[in-house]
Amino acid sequence: MCSIFAALMYKFFRNILFLFPTESIHYFSMNALKLACKIGFLKKLIASQFTVRNARFEKEIFGLHFKNTVGLGAGFDKNALYLNELETLGFGFVEIGTVTPLPQAGNDKPRLFRLPKDQALINRMGFNNDGVKVIAERLRKWNNNHQPSTIDHCLIIGGNIGKNKITPNEDAWKDYEICFRELFDCVDYFVVNVSSPNTPGLRELQEKDALRKILSHLQNINKEQKKPKPLLLKIAPDLSVSQIDDVISLAEEIKLDGLVATNTTISREFLITSKEQIQNIGMGGLSGLPLKQKSVEVVKYIHEKTNGSIPIIASGGIFNVDDAKEKLQAGASLIQVWTGFIYEGPSIVKKILSGL
């Protein structure tokens, strides 16, 4: 009953929040939650409302123990600023980043846009982040203060890594290596991001030869470590079947631990929002409900093509338990929300898990 009330309250406040610029209200909301979680009884109250604790939601994947299968996709907490708060909301795992070697401001603002009629977002953030050294130090402090003594402190952290905008594609492998080495002791798994549409030329790195150079180099470094970390690749929903086949072949060749399917799309098909408004927004990756079906198709294709041998984290258009079930039935091992979190609010994890 309380969770229903909380959901209704969020819808009321969402209408107010949506009156303000998308990016600034994102940070305002998360900073307000951060402030609330500094007050002991409020943090316990928030956790009691939004966290579901049940052993049947736990899962072993990539050699890691997830307390539940619902995670938060990269791009929401780029700089690992809100891990305590996201843990309090019940997420089983959070992917930070995309992280680049050098700090960068990203693209010019405004760069994040709501499409309420489509329950979607368009973003062209451009890998804005504090840089790998700052983020790594922040993660080390967080890890030191969160010893995993109970299930409540088993938040899995993924490190989503990319290249700086100024780095030419032929040198991209160096950027991925820098991030991999710097974050190695700070995160539980890695995701290589070559599929964002918001860094010029980045998606060219999805071609097989370029991708092989990056992934094989990282995997060689990984194998040298005492305890290698799971290494995954995030792919775009706009790949052709032959390109997906190349990704699968490469994943098997290099022995990747999994794939994240999918990133945002550059497609603007089947939108309710007026063409004039879409043109005024301009370039960027589209996420949310319009991406749902395409993401399901990619997950299902990979799962069937590999007979389930490559674990998949499904992302794209997950708003409720039915969306989550569809992804899991298509072959996903874990799911990530992002845009659904914006539209459905802090109860999204609890609602999905309770339905599952």
Active-site positions?
Answer: 196
Alpha carbon distance 161, 139 (integer Å): 14
Q: What DSSP state is assigned to residue 18?
A: T
Alpha carbon distance 5, 182 (integer Å): 43
Reduce the DSSP state of residue 167 to 3 states and report it: coil
CB atoms within 10 A of CB 95: 29
Across the chain, where does the E strand assignment appear? 59-61, 64-66, 70-72, 93-99, 112-115, 120-123, 156-161, 189-193, 231-235, 258-261, 285-288, 312-315, 334-337
Cis amide prior to 230 (ω within 30 degrees): no
Cβ-based neighbours of 109, under 8 Å, separated by 6 or more: 23
Kindly list the distances between the CA atom of residue 331 and the CA atoms of 204, 222, 232, 309, in Å, as whole numbers in the listed order. Answer: 27, 27, 16, 10
60: phi then psi, degrees, rounded to nearest 5: -100, 120
Q: At what angle do helices 40-50 and 22-37 cross, to 10 degrees?
A: 110
Alpha carbon distance 246, 239 (integer Å): 10
